[in-house]
């Protein structure tokens, strides 16, 4: 079965450069990283770049100077820079939704001018940031009280997808910067267990719900928010009037917010030109801002902006998002790599890869071009991963000795953050030793001769041999600060952009999530009543009947 619908075998604009890369790939054959390093003693320092606080080592990639040149020509022919500039200018590059794509405006400085339909959006961005800061300060200081007059100690963000993953990831990442006497939780799953576990030990009088939904129509979020409101009013024994002190909304849909019963005064706005998965530095980040404070939030935005500027202005040879995008494409197209692992060596980044899954896979999991014609090439990879050391004792076996090519990003920090006890600080060298060791093992492996030299019995030699040649990028920074987090996220946002531009897909729509939503709406009443299931296929009809029987219906 074809992996992609039939289409031309390369994007039209850059077909020639694509063919040149295919030919180059043929020529490289089984070239090993061991050979590349042996041929160039400077490789480990030469194939590096710095953007802001991020040091990038891409020497352990299966590329030569020629490969990099060919990849850059591909980006040039595809006019990635042209699309990038159109994005920064506020042009409607999300063609299927006819929308501008301006998450970069969310971190623009106060005086900047970025227009959408002739209106400068920067003042609105800062007005919302100011309103968020005022609110965050009141919650943090205890000036904002609940219905009974008690100060707020618990924040529960209710949202899903981009309205959950970003703030949840960043809250974990920056936990050591948070106001520790605030409890911050995130509810996303429509499984009632999620909300139940999030609120069961909370005092309703001290709890603030932040309902985060761009559209304010997402069924999971509205369902959870409704249940949260019932829980709150039930616990307080209060009427609707208590909602104003315990619910705020983050949305583009003022009408929907008002219909739900939240005072639009307590709504923090954003705009249709902010994609859900690009939104956590908008009002969607309110829970994070409450947790870390407005100043730290601003530092994070500054980090984003630093990489935006780099992406916009750095020459191709030094442009890190271009490089990362092109390297990913190199393996996807010419090594048949279907997956990409992101392996942070930081406990605080435990949700980082889950966040990137939406960013990358919802953006680039597409199989038609911008004009609707099918692609004839593979597009976005399966992005996965967990913090590195845990992975080492789980799935790294497959990475080292399995049959697949899975390029990986390894992320580490020189200094531990937080108020760790001295003994725990000392553990950091061990963590980092693991990081560097894995990168080494992935690249160079261990030959059969090396294994034999250790006196290993011959029958075990093939089992204990490591082929190596697994490409990795190492990203190293001094410390995981708010700014560094912003820099990292922006790096991936723009990497995804570069790839989508070359694949000629619309990275900013997400029609693929719609069908399931529509079908679920049709199935739900059948589960309840058993009626109206005539449209169901035989498998679904049998499953529904089984479910109803198990529920005793
Ligand atoms: O279903 C996918 C999606 O539309 C995401 O793109 C989005 O981040 C998420 O749902 C949540 O949407 P909303 O913020 O409108 O509730």
Q: pLDDT tens-digit profile of 96-141?
A: 999 999 999 999 999 999 999 999 999 999 999 999 999 999 999 9
Structure token digits, residue 257:
């917010």
Sorted by where each begins, the domain ranges of the chain are 14-91+314-505, 103-298, 514-551
CATH code of the region 14-91+314-505? 3.40.50.10490
Rounded CA gap, 105 and 124, in Å?
Answer: 10
Number of Cβ within a 10 Å radius of residue 414: 11
3-state secondary structure 74-141: HHHHCCHHHHHHHHHHCCCCECCCCECCCHHHHHCCCCCCCEECCEECHHHHHHHHHHHHHHHHHHHH
Q: Nearest 5°: phi and psi at 73? A: -65, -35
- What distance in Å separates the CA atoms of residue 213 and residue 270, rounded to the nearest whole number? 10
Both tokens of 7, joined, read 């289409």
What's the farthest any 2 CA atoms get from each other in the chain?
78
pTM for the model stands at 0.97
How far is Cα 314 from Cα 300, in angstroms, rounded to an integer? 21
- The residue count of the chain comes to 553
Ligand 1 atom nearest to CA at 362 = 6
| Alpha carbon nearest to ligand 1 atom 9, residue | 161
For 525-549, write each residue's pLDDT tens digit: 999 999 999 999 999 999 999 999 9
Q: Check residue 418 and give its pLDDT.
A: 84
Task: Confirm whether 214 is a catalytic residue.
Answer: no
Q: Are 366 and 506 in contact (CB under 8 A)?
A: yes
For 251, which DSSP code?
A: E
157, 212 in Cβ contact below 8 A? yes
Residues 6+ apart with CB under 8 A from 81: 75
Q: Give per-residue pLDDT as tens, 186-216.
A: 999 999 999 999 999 999 999 999 999 999 9
Q: Which pLDDT value is given to residue 419?
A: 85
User: 163 CB under 6 A from ligand 1?
Assistant: yes
Q: Is 167 in the pocket of ligand 1 (CB under 6 A)?
A: no
Distance CA 74, CA 20 (A): 9
Assign 3-class secondary structure to 471-515.
Answer: CEEEEEECCCCHHHHHHHHHHHHHHHHHHHHHHCCCCCCCHHHHH
Which of 26, 241, 265, 393 does the annotation list as catalytic?
Answer: 393
pLDDT of residue 3: 55
Atom of ligand 1 nearest to the CA of 277: 8
Q: How confident is the model at residue 5 (pLDDT cuts 50, 70, 90)?
A: low
Q: What value does the mean pLDDT of the chain take?
A: 97
Closest CA to 262 of 217, 231, 225, 287: 225
Give φ, ψ of 101 to 5 degrees.
-125, 95
> Which ligand 1 atom is the nearest neighbour of the CA of 517?
1
Residue 126 CA, ligand 1 centroid: distance in Å: 24
Beta-carbon contacts of 316 under 8 Å, excluding residues fewer than 6 positions away, are 72, 75, 76, 322
Structure token pair of residue 356: 């990137």
DSSP 8-state class, residue 244: H
Q: Considering the candidates 517, 521, 535, 546, report the single residue annotated as catalytic.
A: 517
pLDDT value of position 8? 82
Instruction: State in Å: Cα 541 to ligand 1 middle.
Output: 29
309-352 pLDDT, tens digit each: 999 999 999 999 999 999 999 999 999 999 999 999 999 999 99
pLDDT-derived band at 388 (thresholds 50, 70, 90) equals confident
Residue 172: both structure tokens together: 């974990």
From residue 382, give the alpha-carbon distance in Å to each of 107, 168, 182, 337, 352.
Answer: 29, 21, 36, 9, 15
For residue 221 and ligand 1, the question of a CB distance below 6 A is answered with yes
Distance 275 CA to ligand 1 centre (A): 9
Cα 75 to its chain centre, rounded Å, is 23
Concerning whether 517 is annotated as a catalytic residue, the answer is yes
Task: List strands edge to edge, sheet with 382-384.
Answer: 48-51, 54-57, 472-477, 408-413, 339-344, 382-384
Predicted pLDDT at 500: 98
Dist CA 400 CA 290 (whole Å): 42
Same fold, 14-91+314-505 and 103-298: yes
Residue 2, pLDDT above cutoff 60: no
Q: Looking at the CA of residue 218, tell me the nearest atom of ligand 1.
A: 16
- Token code pair at residue 254: 């003022």
* List 362, 470, 494, 495, catalytic entry: 362
How far apart are the two ends of the chain, measured CA to CA in Å? 41
- The predicted pLDDT at position 508 comes to 98
Percent of all residues in the chain with a pLDDT value above 90, rounded to a whole number: 98
Q: Which pLDDT band holds residue 7 (cuts at 50, 70, 90)?
A: confident
Average pLDDT over every residue of 364-375: 97
Where does the pLDDT of residue 4 fall: very low under 50, low under 70, confident under 90, or very high at 90 and above? Answer: low
The predicted pLDDT at position 404 comes to: 96
Q: Which of 23, 20, 27, 29 is nearest to 76 (CA)?
A: 20
Distance (Å, whole) CA 175 – CA 180: 8
Q: Cα of 374 to ligand 1 centre, how many Å? A: 25
CA of 217 to the centre of ligand 1 (A): 9
Residue 203 near residue 219 (C-beta atoms within 8 A): no
- In this structure, the residue with its CA closest to atom 16 of ligand 1 is 213
Pairing assessment for the beta strands 54-57 and 119-120 based on DSSP bridges: unpaired
CA distance 465 to 443: 13
User: Using one digit for the tens of pLDDT, what is the confidence trace for 145-199?
Assistant: 999 999 999 999 999 999 999 999 999 999 999 999 999 999 999 999 999 999 9
Atom of ligand 1 nearest to the CA of 165: 8
Ligand 1 pocket test, pick from 94, 97, 161, 186 with the greatest ligand atom count within 8 Å of Cβ, gives 161
Return the structure tokens found at 534: 């005539």
Distance 527 CA to ligand 1 centre (A): 25
Tokens, residue 394: 């789980």
CA distances from 549 to 61, 179, 521, 532, 545 (A): 55, 49, 20, 17, 6
> How many Å apart are CA 362 and CA 379, to the nearest integer?
11
For the domain spanning 103-298, the CATH number is 3.40.50.10490
Using alpha carbons only, what angle is made at residue 150 by residues 146 and 137, rounded to the nearest 5 degrees? Answer: 70
């Amino acid at each position: 079965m074809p992996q992609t619908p039939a289409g031309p075998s390369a994007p039209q604009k850059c077909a020639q450069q694509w063919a040149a890369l295919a030919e180059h790939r043929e020529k490289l054959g089984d070239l090993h990283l061991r050979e590349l390093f042996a041929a160039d003693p400077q490789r480990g320092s030469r194939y590096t770049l710095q953007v802001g606080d991020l040091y990038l080592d891409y020497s352990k990639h299966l590329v030569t100077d020629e490969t990099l040149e060919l990849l850059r020509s591909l980006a040039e022919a595809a006019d990635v820079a042209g699309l990038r500039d159109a994005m920064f200018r506020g042009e409607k590059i999300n063609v299927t939704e006819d929308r501008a794509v301006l998450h970069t405006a969310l971190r623009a400085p106060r005086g900047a001018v970025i227009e959408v339909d002739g209106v400068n959006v920067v003042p609105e961005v800062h007005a919302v940031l100011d309103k968020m800061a005022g609110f965050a300060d009141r919650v943090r200081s205890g000036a904002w009280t609940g219905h009974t007059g008690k100060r707020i100690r618990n924040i529960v963000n209710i949202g899903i997808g981009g309205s959950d993953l970003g703030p949840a990831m960043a809250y974990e990442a920056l936990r050591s910067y948070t106001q520790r006497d605030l409890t911050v939780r995130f509810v996303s799953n429509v499984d009632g267990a999620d909300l139940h576990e999030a609120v069961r030990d909370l005092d309703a009088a001290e709890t603030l719900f932040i309902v985060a939904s761009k559209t304010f129509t997402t069924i999971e979020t509205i369902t959870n928010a409704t249940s949260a409101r019932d829980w709150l009013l039930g616990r307080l024994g209060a009427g609707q009037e208590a909602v104003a002190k315990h619910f705020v909304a983050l949305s583009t849909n003022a009408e929907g917010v008002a219909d739900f019963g939240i005072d639009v005064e307590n709504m923090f706005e954003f705009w249709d030109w902010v994609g859900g998965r690009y939104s956590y530095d908008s009002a969607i980040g309110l829970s994070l801002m409450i947790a870390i404070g407005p100043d730290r939030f601003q530092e994070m935005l500054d980090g984003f902006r630093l990489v935006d500027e780099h992406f916009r202005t750095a020459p191709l040879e030094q442009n890190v998002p271009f490089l990362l995008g092109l390297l990913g494409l190199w393996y996807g197209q010419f090594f048949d790599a279907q997956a990409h692992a992101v392996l942070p060596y930081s406990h605080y980044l435990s949700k980082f890869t889950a966040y990137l899954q939406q960013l990358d896979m919802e953006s680039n999991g597409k199989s038609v071009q911008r004009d609707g014609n099918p692609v004839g090439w593979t597009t976005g990879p399966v992005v996965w991963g967990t913090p590195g050391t845990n992975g080492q004792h789980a799935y790294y076996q497959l990475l080292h000795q399995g049959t697949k090519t899975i390029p990986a990003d390894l992320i580490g920090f020189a200094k531990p953050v937080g108020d760790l006890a001295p003994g725990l600080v000392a553990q950091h060298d061990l963590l980092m030793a693991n990081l560097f060791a894995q990168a080494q093992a992935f690249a160079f492996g261990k030959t059969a001769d090396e294994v034999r030299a250790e006196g290993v019995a011959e029958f075990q030699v093939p089992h204990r041999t490591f082929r190596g040649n697994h490409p990795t990028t190492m990203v190293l920074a001094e410390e995981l600060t708010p700014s560094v987090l912003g820099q990292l996220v922006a790096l991936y946002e723009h990497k995804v952009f570069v790839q989508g531009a070359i694949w000629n897909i619309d990275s900013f729509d997400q029609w693929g999530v719609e069908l399931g939503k529509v079908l679920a709406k049709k199935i739900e009443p059948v589960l309840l009543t058993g009626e109206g299931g005539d449209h169901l296929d035989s498998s679904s009809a049998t499953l529904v009947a089984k479910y109803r029987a198990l529920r005793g219906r």
